[in-house]
């Protein structure tokens, strides 16, 4: 949910609003990059599901705020008081962005969604029989933090690679009273599936479980509304990252009930988490301070709030329409290439609620090789690997248990050349139909076995690079001497 303007201090410190529906400028998205043949071309950046480049207006706002930077909450100087006011207003903007209750919920800033999910997992006192139910679609950040805290079980996928909702409901009914937490992604960073989070919440609550939404991939692409407490489809906790929302300044947030965080032990202990300390006792502060040890990333939270305001000005209707147009163009073009295999839903004429995230392979070619050629010969930035979702990738690629064991042995010996994976192209606010067409032209050339360079594969990383060629970074910014 995109909030209306709240207060005056933060909104008036942002640059003038853009026209609703107009895609805002993204820094560096079209910067020239060198190619293997010596040419320089405008980059096509299709690695947005990993991280997005900063919005120009966010960058300008951060630079303006640097002059005022000061630590917050206890300083009495002008800058400290101002930054404290801006920080707390930004906290409210972040909570409202996902429909948090302004009285009952609180936004806790964290470095990113990974830290947020680790922090959240630490706030539950699990009993020996407790289960965390998650899915095969999860990013490692919504899987690994729960392991060791409780028994983790996984809901599988249907043959079309979408979440098996019937299995989800059946598992919750069968384990009623034992599933403490349902931890589920809002959208897959591999298949692009957008999950029906409110339906999942209603089923979880009916069976006595709380629901945690990893919204790192969802938040930049679809509106989120936690809905009121007491409703069966209320989202209990939402976690997301700023770096996927064109604000890569090291911030994320957890939004959830203040009462929960008041009752939990501090994730980290130190400055800012207490009301009083004696030599043999501590009076811990209430949330959010209790969970915010040390000096916070003040500029990072302000940048996230600034990005939220810009997304608000563009509007979800325009953001979704822009993404759907490009996703349809991308899928149709790839469908015309029989050598290209898409992992996940691939019907361009029936997108459903699908993000512009497309993982794929080219028959007969190593995924790392495909990504390298796209970069070195066409100036197109994509991602290659398992996308921090190893179980899902192995499922989609039908990797057998015997093959998995063999690969693990190779990895432990330092050889990652045969790790299974795919290539991923992912759409952002700055992308255009011309970007998609350039990508499709390049992919078509690779599928037809047309490339110029001779490539070698690194044993340690599995990555490919051209023989006798490396990127020249001498003209790029350098650390001060």
Catalytic positions: 388
Which candidate, 297, 440, 428, 422, places its Cα nearest to that of 365? 422
Which candidate, 188, 173, 181, 114, places its Cα nearest to that of 153? 181
- Asked whether 171 and 163 are in contact (CB, 8 A), the reply is no
Per-residue HEC secondary structure of the chain comes to CCCCCCCCHHHHHCCCCCCCCCCCCECCCCCEEECCCCCEEECEECECCCCCCCEHHHHHHHHHHHCCCCCCCCCCCHHHHHHHHHHHHHHHHHHHHCCCCCCCEEEEEECCHHHHHHHHHHCCCCCCCCEEEEECCCCHHHCHHHECCEEEEEECECCCCCECHHHHHHHHHHCCCCEEEEEEECECCCCCEECCHHHHHHHHHHCCCEEEEECCCCCCCCCCCCCCCCCCCCCCEEEEECCCCCCCCCCEEEEEEHHHHHHCCCCCCCCCCEEEECCCCEEECCCCHHHCCCCCCHHHHHHHHHHHHHHHHHCHHHHHHHHHHHHHHHHHHHHCCCCEEEECCCCCCCCCCECCEEEEEECCCCHHHHHHHHHHHHCEECEEECCCCHHHHHHHCCCCHHHHHHHHHHHHCCCCCCCCCEEEEECCCCCCHHHHHHHHHHHHHHHCCCCCCCEEECCCCCCEEECCCCCCCCCCCCCCC
Angle at 346 between CA 343 and CA 349, to 5 degrees: 170
**Cis-peptide into 300, omega within 30 deg:** no
């Amino acid at each position: 949910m995109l909030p209306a303007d709240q207060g005056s201090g933060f909104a008036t410190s942002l640059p003038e609003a853009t026209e609703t529906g107009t895609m805002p400028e993204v820094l560096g998205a079209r910067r020239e990059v060198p190619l293997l043949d010596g040419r320089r071309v405008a980059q096509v950046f299709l690695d947005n599901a990993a991280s997005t480049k900063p919005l120009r207006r966010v960058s300008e706002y951060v630079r303006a705020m640097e002059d005022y930077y000061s630590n917050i909450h206890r300083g009495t100087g002008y800058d400290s008081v101002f930054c404290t006011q801006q920080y707390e207003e930004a906290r409210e903007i972040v909570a409202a962005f996902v429909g948090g209750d302004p009285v009952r919920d609180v936004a806790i800033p964290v470095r990113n969604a990974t830290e947020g999910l680790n922090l959240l997992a630490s706030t539950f006192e699990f009993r020996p029989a407790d289960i965390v139910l998650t899915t095969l679609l999860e990013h490692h950040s919504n899987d690994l933090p729960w392991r060791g805290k409780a028994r983790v079980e996984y809901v599988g996928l249907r043959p079309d690679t979408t979440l098996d909702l019937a299995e989800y409901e059946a598992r919750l009914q069968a384990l009623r009273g034992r599933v403490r937490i349902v931890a589920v992604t809002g959208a897959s960073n591999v298949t692009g599936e957008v999950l029906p989070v409110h339906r999942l919440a209603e089923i979880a609550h009916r069976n006595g479980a709380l629901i945690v939404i990893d919204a790192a991939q969802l938040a930049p692409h679809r509106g989120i509304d936690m809905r009121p407490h007491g409703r069966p489809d209320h989202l209990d906790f939402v976690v997301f990252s700023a770096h996927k929302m064109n604000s890569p300044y090291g911030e994320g947030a957890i939004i959830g009930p203040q009462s929960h965080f008041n009752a939990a032990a501090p994730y980290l202990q130190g400055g800012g988490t207490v009301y009083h300390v004696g030599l043999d006792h501590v009076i811990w502060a209430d949330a959010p301070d209790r969970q915010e040890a040390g000096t916070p990333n003040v500029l990072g939270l302000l940048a996230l709030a600034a990005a939220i305001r810009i997304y608000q000005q563009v509007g979800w209707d325009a953001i979704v329409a822009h993404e759907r147009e490009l996703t349809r163009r991308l899928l149709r073009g790839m469908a015309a290439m029989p050598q290209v295999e898409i992992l996940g839903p691939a019907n361009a004429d029936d997108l459903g609620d699908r993000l512009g995230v497309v993982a794929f392979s080219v028959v007969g070619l190593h995924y790392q090789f495909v990504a390298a050629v796209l970069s070195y010969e066409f100036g197109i930035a994509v991602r290659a690997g398992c996308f921090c979702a190893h179980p899902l990738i192995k499922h989609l690629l039908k990797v057998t248990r015997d093959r998995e064991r063999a690969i693990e042995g190779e990895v432990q010996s330092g050889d990652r050349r045969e790790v299974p994976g795919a290539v991923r192209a992912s759409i952002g606010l700055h992308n255009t139909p011309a970007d998609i067409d350039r990508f499709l032209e390049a992919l078509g050339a690779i599928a037809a076995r047309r490339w110029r360079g001779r490539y070698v594969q690194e044993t340690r990383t599995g990555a490919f690079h051209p023989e006798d060629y490396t990127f020249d970074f001498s003209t790029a910014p350098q650390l001060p001497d």
